[in-house]
Amino acid sequence: MIPRSARRFLDVRITVVLSTYQQPEWLEKSLWGYVRQQLRGFELIVADDGSTEDTARVVEKYREAPGMNLRHVRQEDDGFRKCRILNKAVAAATGDYLVFSDGDCIPRADFLAAHAALARPRRFLSGGYVKLSEDASRRIDRVSVDSGRAFSARWLGRWGSANLRGAAKLRVPDWARPAADFATTTRATWNGHNSSAWRRDLLAVNGFDERMAYGGLDRELGLRLEHLGVRGLQVRYRALCVHLEHGRSYVNAEALANNRAIRRETRAKRTTWTPFGIAPSNSIYSNPRPVLRPAHSPVRASCE
């Protein structure tokens, strides 16, 4: 059921930015979750960091899915450049409010309704996820997503869902989720698998730092938002997705060390703006915020 507080978002344009790279099977499972969302009328941008035509075919298959406007923003494969494709998606988005996740995450049916209901000025939302085993990931099918079984701790446990502590989030009833979010000791950070913010705030920090490779790139953006005065709000029980397991060939120690160095500098200098983001450092838009909205028809959310 759509919370009453989400209805104030009927006139707010919502864009989902879904990152992907060479995981068409997992992307399709993720899209099943968005087809089933309680909140309708949103824009969904698949931010593709250089996948093959298999991914393009999955996007095309769901382009006419009811309840969402699906778009494909794509770049050539030239190593791990997730931050760059995310910035391209932010620049292309028509929404006022942006929800970020990954193409290996399946959202619960109330996922977007929760983000819409809980959005606040000068805040970003930090959602949660349940990490699945590879066996559970492969056993999830369209029927289990449509029926909601894919978000049942008991059903997932039959297939060896490895993260039992994480799966406990799935057992919390609707009425107890606000209290669970309030009581958690986990800090509200920007998580690439499940976070949201106002587009104007993302532009005010110039988006993602494109020097960042895999490992902590999301949290660096969160630091700059916090330094700007946009604080995180914990919603890990109220806005939830399940995370499908897969290999990560793009992990390397040198990139991780570089990312840590950038985050340390961001934290030490209380940086808010990166010159390696959406607007280049020599742009007329360089700090303050750029205006990059393309001339597209607005996408307005509605409730079923």
Q: Please spell the DSSP secondary structure of 67-81, one letter per residue.
A: TEEEEEEE----S--
Enter the pTM of the model: 0.89
Task: Output the DSSP codes for 127-165.
Answer: EEEEEPPHHHHHH--HHHHHHSGGG-HHHHHTTT-S-HH
Residue 295, domain member (yes or no): no
Segment 222-239, tens digit of pLDDT = 999 999 999 999 999 999
Of 41-45, 91-95, 298-302, the poorest mean pLDDT is in 298-302
For residue 296, being part of any structural domain is answered with: no
Q: How much of the chain exceeds pLDDT 70, in percent?
A: 84
Better-predicted residue by pLDDT, 284 or 136: 136
Residue 291 is assigned to a structural domain of this protein = no
- Whether 289 is covered by a domain: the verdict is no
Count Cα atoms within 13 angstroms, Cβ side, for 139: 15
Q: Is residue 292 domain-resident?
A: no
Identify whether 45 is part of a domain. Answer: yes
The residue assigned the tokens 């808010």 is: 272
Query: In which region does residue 287 sit, left (phi positive, over 0), alpha (psi from -120 to 50) or beta (all else)?
Result: left
Q: Is the pLDDT of residue 286 over 50?
A: no
Q: pLDDT at residue 248 above 80?
A: no
ω into 288 cis (within 30 of 0): yes
pLDDT tens, 1-51?
Answer: 445 554 555 467 999 999 999 999 999 999 999 999 999 999 999 999 999
Domain that holds residue 256: 12-276
**pLDDT, position 257:** 87
The pLDDT assigned to 291 comes to 37
The CATH number given to whatever domain includes residue 66 is: 3.90.550.10
**Mean pLDDT of the 173-193 span:** 95
Handedness of CA 221, 224, 226, 228 (dihedral sign): negative
pLDDT at 8 (0 to 100): 54
Tokens 């794509």 found at: 74
What is the pLDDT, as a whole number, of residue 294?
A: 36
In tens, the pLDDT along 126-167 reads: 999 999 988 889 999 999 999 999 999 888 888 766 555 677
302 within some domain: no
**Which pLDDT band, with edges at 50, 70 and 90, does 282 fall under?**
very low
Q: Could you give the C-alpha distances from 293 to 100, 220, 225, 284, in angstroms and in order?
A: 18, 24, 20, 16
Domain membership flag for residue 4 = no
Instruction: Name the domain count of the chain.
Output: 1
